[in-house]
Amino acid sequence: MKNLLRLVSVVITVFFLNACAQHAPQIRIDQQAPQTEAEQVWAKYLANSRKIKKSSPFTINSSFRFKTPDNSNRASLKIWGNGTNPVRIDILGPFGSVVASLRISNTRSVIYEPDNKRAVYSDSGDELLVRLGLPVPVSVQDIIALLRGDYSELFPETYETAYVEGNANIAYTFSNKSMDKNSLQKLTDGILVLNKQGLPIAWEQKDKSMSISFEKYDNSLPSKIRVLAGTERSALFLIKKRDIPLSPFEPEALELKLPPDTKLEPMKPMPTPLG
């Protein structure tokens, strides 16, 4: 089980936002933005985000690079689903072989290592990361939405104050009402920076514990995303391809069938990494 737990640690560290960076984005806000311009940019942002149909089938191929105090590596991700749970993920090695397979849902999430025919599962749904000792404010599904370009359940739909940021961007802050525990939005306590086209440039938590940089776009969808948290860990997603299948995936395509001799064990909490 030792190899699988090491793999799970790497996967969670990279993919589920326990990633930190060498350099967080430098957000500079000195004065409030003109109201009309701020409202126009925000309207563009909402329109861009609402183009993503939550219930549409999708596939994403992405590479990721990660760095921790003890490790530095890269791999590839293949993600697919019908826009709602469950979601399937394959982590591919350098030659395209499947290093690990994941099936994520609100009821049971499974991570399988085919080489050792071992798997771990969690029945905690959206609290999977908390069970692993990673109390981040987002779920696995939130990260997948981020890669799809859907921010509707990450950032609030209304802002409190808009500021001029840098030379051409606008930074938005949110009121305490956006932090209601019953709210669908997960990232509210911080600053969201948009460019004049209404595309996210950066998000930074108020306590600077986590930030996200949107470093490149392709047809208004992010193709290079850097996730940062703490001081010594970083993760970089390079999205190679997105597709919208003509028809939804059949249920079988979203299953994770384990061989009969697979050793299936419950996921144990892991200590929160320092950093």
How big is the chain by its Cα radius of gyration, in Å?
Answer: 19
Tell me the pLDDT tens digit for each residue of 75-122.
899 999 998 889 999 989 877 889 889 999 888 889 898 988 899 888
Residue predicted with more confidence, 109 or 130:
109
Highest mean pLDDT among 114-128, 156-170, 178-192: 156-170
In angstroms, how far is CA 18 from the centroid of its own chain? 10
Which superfamily does CATH assign the domain made up of 2-266 to?
Answer: Lipoprotein localisation LolA/LolB/LppX (2.50.20.10)
pTM for the predicted model, two decimal places: 0.81
The CA distance from 175 to 193, in Å, is: 16
Q: What is the pLDDT of residue 108?
A: 87
